[in-house]
Structure 1
Amino acid sequence: MFKKLAIFFLFISFASIADDGSRLWLKYDLLKDPKQREAYINLTKFVALNYNSPIATNAANELKIGFEGLLGKKIPVVQNWTGKTGGIILEVNTTGISVQHLVDDGFAIQQQKGNIFITAKTPSGVLYGAFELLRYIQTAKDLNKISVVSNPKVKIRMLNHWDNANGTVERGYAGSSMWKWTELPFRIDPRYIQYARANASIGINAASINNVNASSRFLTAEYLEKIKAVADILRPYGIRVFISVNFRSPRTLGGLKTSDPLDAEVRKWWNDKTKEIHEYIPDFGGFLVKANSEGEPGPQDYGRTHADGANMLAEAMRPYSGIVIWRAFVYNADPKGDRFKEAYEQFKPLDGTFDPKVIVQVKNGPIDFMPREPFHPMFGAFPKTTLGMEFQITQEYLGQSTHLTYLAPMFKECLDTDTYAKGKGSTVAKVIDGSLDSHQNSLMAGVANTGSDINWTGHPFNQANWYAFGRLAWNHTLSSEEIASEWIVMTLTKNSVSQEKIKNIMLKSLPVYISYTYPLGTAHMMGEGHHYGPEPWLAKSGRPDWTSVYYHRADSIGLGFDRTGKVSNALSLYHPEVQKLWGNADQCPLDYLLWFHHVAWDKKLSTGRTLWNELCVRYYGGVEEVKKLQTVWESMKTEIDDETFENVKGRLKIQEKEALWWRDACILYFINYARMPIPSPLAAPTRSLDEVKKLVEIYHLR
């Protein structure tokens, strides 16, 4: 059945004429240059495979399909290649010089004796090497004398799906869930195969398939049978399945009176349930847990610690190869406190108490996936605990599916920042890849942006964020520019002039978005609940740290949250070198200024403008930049597929309208505190604050 589905899906993919985006970056369209095709054909006359496994077979088949599409010539897959030249040899080899520098999943691509060898210790490594070779051809790189050795920087490279059993996706902006639970296990959607191929092509090797606000239903036999069917599809592409679990499951499913992690019956229930899961999924990846956060149950309900809860599950996983991922996104509703500090303060006393099978998954910043946040203070402060990174690929606070926002620069900004934990060069990336503190395990997770939309991600450019996450999880030293260039040529156009224009749009997009939404380190001013559009005036909510005024602290004196000691001492959680960088308002980089300082409206900044004038310039400038992005995009009409061009064009118009919405809402609200004129030559908004507030009311009615 699996082979038939794969053939069917690939047939309908290549038979499509219009580019609806469904193929993502796996577009094996015929290369237009005959000389270029001929050069590649001479090096790819056959594919030889020396290892029999579903993953290795997929590697060979992917090369065969890719070569036939890109080069327009059928390529045979053979087993005996002795004496032949001009082919691709796939080798799984656990010994010898060719693999001595490789880790599991790593690969080498080298030309020897007239053939190109893709060598790895594992079948997964061969699969990743096959996709790397195809990427070389898709991006028109020279295969002559090719020599590549590539090892993943991070062991577990995971997508977190916040998908629910009813088909909804929490923070999903690309249609309903891609997992069709009502059809599983009896019907397998062919898109599952395309999903697996896309992830394997960028090195993603794990997927947690349900929402971290988890339903216990996913642990029932009914759903384990469904999850098994998904795991069986993903396994031949090297992807292991994880399940998000509800900590109260022993009570809701098992009928126990408690879910106390130190209770013997509770521990036995989890041991038995874990054994049952492995009967369905022998290579089960493990549990992902959100506990004692935003109303979710957890060990603190019983006076226990996060380590108590995580270690109980680790004990259940001990006979197996899987792990436990425990999220550190926790915070209390304290109007006098600082949510910035909550996770650090709850977890710091537990450093060194977690089982080796536990990874604590930490968001990139201390609040909640804001467009720009300081790196989380837990990074660099927990040498005895394996910390994993949690990025958000889905654009919850970044324009969702209507704003073009390329996120690789945001990921890189965090990864490349120095924690100074062990002196200069102790970057966040070295914390999460395990190299800084010699941890054997490592994790980078991304909250997925996939859905049922035909192009997977809603906005065509949101595909680039999925792609960028995978590439950086494999190799965090890649630059945003390199990744953008790859994605553009594989996805949008082979025209070099257009490629440069699109790359410039992508690289500008994040700073442009920040300028008209959250300039100078402002944060958390989005609409309540839906997290869309501006609501800086929000002062009442279910908890104080869900409001806007909690974060921006605007008053007649100035703007910003003082975290240097006057209101909060959160800055003290960082190492002295970081404190020095951010602690002085006169020297603090402007992008982080209002994260750490309450700054007077009339204070002159390093730009020569006052705080108020600088805010105005950035809000207004952001709107103008969106207009410029539209002009550049319009200039590429003849180079981009019509369907994609019109899709992006329409969304850019929405983005301009909503950038203006953000600008007017924030300017008209803050001017009541600043009591200063909008600087010349900027024109005052043509609508009142009350009129802007009505837009938010209308949105709530949707």
Structure 2
Amino acid sequence: MRRAGRRLGLAAVAMVAMVAMVAALSAAPAVHAEDGYDLWLRYVALAPEQAAVYRPQVAQLVMAGDTPTRSVARAELLRGLAGLLGSAPAASDAASADGVVIVGTPASSPLIAAMRLKLQGLGREGYLIRSVDVDGHRATVIAANEDVGALYGTFHFLRLIQTGQPLAALDLRQAPHVQLRVLNHWDNLDRHVERGYAGESIWDWHKLPDYLDPRYTDYARANASIGINGTVLNNVNANALSLTPMYLEKAAALAGVFRPYGIRVYLSARFSAPIEIGGLKTADPLDPQVQRWWRDKADEIYRYIPDFGGFLVKANSEGQPGPQDYGRTHADGANMLADAVKPHGGVVMWRAFVYSHEEPDDRAKQAYSEFVPLDGRFRDNVIVQVKNGAIDFQPREPFHPLFGAMPKTPLMMEFQITKEYLGFATHLAYLGPMYQETLDADTQRRGKGSTVAKVVDGSLHGYKLTGMAGVANIGSDRNWSGSQFDQANWYVFGRMAWDPTLNAKPIAEEWARMTFSNDDDVVKPIAEMMMGSREAVVDYMTPLGLHHLMGNGHHYGPGPWVSGGPRADWTSVYYHRANQDGIGFDRSASGSNAVAQYAPPVAREFGDLKRVPEKYLLWFHHVPWDYRMQSGRPLWDELVYRYSHGVDTVRQMGQTWQRLDGRIDPERHAQVATFLSIQEKEAQWWRDASIAYFQTFSQRPLPQGQAPPAHSLEYYEALSFPFAPGH
């Protein structure tokens, strides 16, 4: 009996303890486990006092839902408001109380038609959000000329609430500055993603067209929320099979998911497709049979996808076939494809990232040399897609000299969102400052103020076709981009594609509010981390204008010693040119004279050792190791200092993030903390390996207080990563 009683007593104690624990957990604030899937569309409940302010302002919704786009806009608004405020507004056909939200177009809403709002100049995608009075009731109207504009306005309205903005006295008027706002997916048909660091391709080609993963709809929602209106489904290193009926049927299924969200589908076209899948013996763009084949192929594509956007083409670059194989020009090739899609309203985005088999004196010059002589020779539905810099998505490059140099040919910006050269998915590098640096750069082609942004939005040269492309960082990983902070680069690309004049810092704050917390004491340190992060990567990887120093092939880790191979311009030594005299690529008039490709005022600045911004110093000049920098330090000391400063900044970012423990949900906080520790370790590796290598040329001691590399140069050179992502 005593033993039984003792067992009963222990059970009772355990029960009491369990009840107490449950009570304690019930009393504690709920912690929402998150994995990043919801991106910036989390719609997490606002604080009760904040929700109480908004709820009377959105008490009633008047919105028709009788088209696919209106239906998704209506569903998004109800979903967002229900999540943010705890309840969705009542739906009605008329304004009957204060706090009504009216969404639509003059054609879909009698209330909006009666308001006679000034919607001229907003185009099909623009919108206005305005506080109005309807029959004596306070109301908010989201009005547009077409349904897609109302959808964009809906997302903007939800963003105001997500970020805690006041809804009283609204008078917002928005229209995109750029027409084509497109993601380029470098996704292959086997689901491998070239330069992808977030898992496999999200396009499950094997299960398409019958199974439409719900993820496709969420992808469309995310893009529409930031104004992206196009997606290129396949890699620019294209497979001709993408243009066969089997895959066109799959692409058409995706287009059906995206269409209500205002997103058009594009395909990368392999220039040699007439040979590979068409049975022809040539792909010569001036051959009548080839021209007919492409016209027939375009007609076929539009039967599958009536709103098909057009083709993206990489030709005569990195071994890809193109018109130069037949002695023709880029204009000849682009115009042939443009003629094929023009009857259907399609466009051709022809990439200017080219370099030939014959190695030039300076690879940075080739795109300009090939394309500027063709200015004015392209069809009006061709837009030339130009990378932000002349080499290849480096952590920092001066703006591409083509911008401003082709006034008769529309140029489309190409940014890389996936961080091929900036630490893949594990390094925090917010690219907004990099995008802004390029867009704000002054080409001076038409005097001061001739910025790259004005080239891209068409205002400098009067382009009738404008565009911006971003090489996507999206994959099958649950958090879409491989890390939490890499989502911000997708976000800021969309926002800047809509308006290239936007500032990166407010966008960082906006994203942080929607992604992590609306509390200022959380948002401020996160935004500060983000704004300094890209500069930190530049410092520990490629300071002072150095470039292309990454590991060979996979681009993982430092490789300033990379040499040999089939081409000199695939090596690091080609770009840094370090020797006992100094370091840097001389692109001044005494060197390759790449500066001459810029407008004369810019060329004079970049070409003058005393005037060139130090961030581009070694891009344009071969500089002695003892050259006195603005800091007063000799170049060698400054270089070491910059490497170390990059590591220190990452360490400080990690400390900042640790102080946010408990303010961010534990799952995402733990992942970011781990990634920051990886970044600090790898930043130190970059710093030490680079210093160990370049010291063999400078033959100078480290500055006082600077620690020597942890290992010998031979140790760093021997490291091998055969299975690094991107191989």
TM-score by length of 2: 0.93
Residue 521 of structure 1 contacts residue 591 of structure 1 at CA under 8 Å; is this kept in 2? yes
Q: Deviations over 1:393-433 (max 9, x none)?
A: 00000000110000000000000000001111100000011
2:105 corresponds to 1:109:
no
Report the Cα offset of residue 357 of structure 1.
0.4
Unaligned runs of 5+ in 2: 1-29, 108-112
Q: Which residue of 1 aligns with 2:102?
A: 89
Residue 184 of structure 1 contacts residue 229 of structure 1 at CA under 8 Å; is this kept in 2? yes
Q: Which residue of 1 aligns with 2:13?
A: none
Q: Which residue of 1 aligns with 2:110?
A: none
Q: Using the alignment, how far apart are the partners of 2:722 and 2:271 within structure 1?
A: 37
Which of 197, 220, 226 aligns to 1:173? It is 197
2:457 corresponds to 1:433:
yes
2:569 corresponds to 1:545:
yes
Residue 561 of structure 2 contacts residue 717 of structure 2 at CA under 8 Å; is this kept in 1? no
Report the Cα offset of residue 16 of structure 1.
11
Which of 59, 67, 74 aligns to 2:88? It is 74
Q: Using the alignment, how far apart are the partners of 2:130 and 2:360 within structure 1?
A: 61
Q: Which residue of 2 aligns with 1:6?
A: none
Report the Cα offset of residue 580 of structure 1.
2.2
CA distance 1:550–1:70, shift in 2 (3 Å): same
Q: Deviations over 1:259-314 (max 9, x none)?
A: 11111111111011101101110000000000011000001111110000100011
* 2:337 aligned partner, one-letter code: L
1:583-598 map, 5 Å: 583-598=607-622
SS in 1 for 2:172: strand
SS in 2 for 1:395: coil
Residue 183 of structure 2 contacts residue 470 of structure 2 at CA under 8 Å; is this kept in 1? yes
1:478-627 map, 5 Å: 478-627=502-651
Residue 60 of structure 1 contacts residue 77 of structure 1 at CA under 8 Å; is this kept in 2? no
Which of 203, 208, 214 aligns to 1:184? It is 208
Residue 535 of structure 1 contacts residue 696 of structure 1 at CA under 8 Å; is this kept in 2? no
Higher mean displacement: 397-406 or 618-627:
618-627
Q: Deviations over 1:463-485 (max 9, x none)?
A: 00000000001112221110001
Q: Using the alignment, how far apart are the partners of 1:453 and 1:269 within structure 2?
A: 39
SS in 2 for 1:461: coil
SS in 1 for 2:182: strand
Residue 323 of structure 1 contacts residue 357 of structure 1 at CA under 8 Å; is this kept in 2? yes
Q: Deviations over 1:621-654 (max 9, x none)?
A: 2112211111111110010111111101111111
1:17-32 map, 5 Å: 17-32=32-47
Which of 230, 235, 242 aligns to 1:218? It is 242
Q: Using the alignment, how far apart are the partners of 1:69 and 1:613 within structure 2?
A: 54
SS in 2 for 1:167: coil
Higher mean displacement: 190-199 or 577-586:
577-586
1:256-275 map, 5 Å: 256-275=280-299
SS in 2 for 1:109: strand
* 2:640 aligned partner, one-letter code: C
Which of 463, 470, 475 aligns to 2:494? It is 470
* 1:89 aligned partner, one-letter code: I
Q: Deviations over 1:339-373 (max 9, x none)?
A: 00000000111000000000000000000000100
Q: Using the alignment, how far apart are the partners of 2:250 and 2:721 within structure 1?
A: 41
Q: Using the alignment, how far apart are the partners of 2:344 and 2:367 within structure 1?
A: 29
Q: Using the alignment, how far apart are the partners of 1:383 and 1:335 within structure 2?
A: 28
2:430 corresponds to 1:406:
yes
Q: Which residue of 2 aligns with 1:52?
A: 66
2:477 corresponds to 1:453:
yes
1:121-520 map, 5 Å: 121-334=145-358, 337-520=361-544
Residue 55 of structure 1 contacts residue 236 of structure 1 at CA under 8 Å; is this kept in 2? yes
Residue 495 of structure 1 contacts residue 639 of structure 1 at CA under 8 Å; is this kept in 2? no
Q: Using the alignment, how far apart are the partners of 1:327 and 1:93 within structure 2?
A: 40
Higher mean displacement: 432-441 or 326-335:
326-335
* 1:111 aligned partner, one-letter code: S
SS in 2 for 1:77: strand
2:86 corresponds to 1:62:
no
Q: Using the alignment, how far apart are the partners of 1:697 and 1:503 within structure 2?
A: 33
Q: Which residue of 2 aligns with 1:42?
A: 56
Residue 533 of structure 1 contacts residue 696 of structure 1 at CA under 8 Å; is this kept in 2? no
Q: Deviations over 1:234-272 (max 9, x none)?
A: 001000000001000011111001111111111111011
Residue 98 of structure 1 contacts residue 108 of structure 1 at CA under 8 Å; is this kept in 2? no
Q: Deviations over 1:570-600 (max 9, x none)?
A: 0000011111221211221110000100000
Q: Deviations over 1:155-190 (max 9, x none)?
A: 110000000000100000000000000100111111
Q: Which residue of 1 aligns with 2:120?
A: 100
Q: Using the alignment, how far apart are the partners of 1:332 and 1:544 within structure 2?
A: 13
Report the Cα offset of residue 74 of structure 1.
2.7
Q: Using the alignment, how far apart are the partners of 2:700 and 2:95 within structure 1?
A: 81
* 1:64 aligned partner, one-letter code: L
* 1:315 aligned partner, one-letter code: D
Residue 48 of structure 1 contacts residue 60 of structure 1 at CA under 8 Å; is this kept in 2? no
SS in 1 for 2:289: helix
SS in 1 for 2:58: coil
Report the Cα offset of residue 193 of structure 1.
0.6
Residue 561 of structure 1 contacts residue 595 of structure 1 at CA under 8 Å; is this kept in 2? yes
Q: Which residue of 2 aligns with 1:690?
A: 714
Q: Using the alignment, how far apart are the partners of 1:542 and 1:498 within structure 2?
A: 50
Q: Using the alignment, how far apart are the partners of 2:373 and 2:209 within structure 1?
A: 44
Q: Using the alignment, how far apart are the partners of 1:607 and 1:627 within structure 2?
A: 23
Report the Cα offset of residue 379 of structure 1.
0.2
Q: Using the alignment, how far apart are the partners of 1:322 and 1:117 within structure 2?
A: 34
Report the Cα offset of residue 91 of structure 1.
2.2
SS in 1 for 2:396: coil
* 1:237 aligned partner, one-letter code: Y
Q: Using the alignment, how far apart are the partners of 2:90 and 2:257 within structure 1?
A: 25
Q: Using the alignment, how far apart are the partners of 2:60 and 2:335 within structure 1?
A: 50
> Paired residues, what number?
686
Q: Using the alignment, how far apart are the partners of 1:197 and 1:156 within structure 2?
A: 17
SS in 2 for 1:241: strand
Q: Deviations over 1:433-464 (max 9, x none)?
A: 11111111100000000000000011110000
Q: Using the alignment, how far apart are the partners of 2:514 and 2:238 within structure 1?
A: 36
SS in 2 for 1:319: helix
Q: Which residue of 1 aligns with 2:19?
A: none
SS in 1 for 2:485: helix
Unaligned runs of 5+ in 1: 1-14
SS in 1 for 2:343: coil
Q: Which residue of 2 aligns with 1:680?
A: 704
Aligned-residue Cα RMSD (Å) equals 1.5
Residue 430 of structure 1 contacts residue 436 of structure 1 at CA under 8 Å; is this kept in 2? yes
SS in 2 for 1:555: coil
Structure number with bigger Rg: 2
Residue 65 of structure 2 contacts residue 74 of structure 2 at CA under 8 Å; is this kept in 1? no
SS in 2 for 1:460: coil
Report the Cα offset of residue 102 of structure 1.
1.3
SS in 1 for 2:156: helix
Report the Cα offset of residue 495 of structure 1.
2.2
Q: Using the alignment, how far apart are the partners of 1:124 and 1:166 within structure 2?
A: 33
Residue 539 of structure 1 contacts residue 549 of structure 1 at CA under 8 Å; is this kept in 2? yes
Q: Using the alignment, how far apart are the partners of 1:360 and 1:302 within structure 2?
A: 21
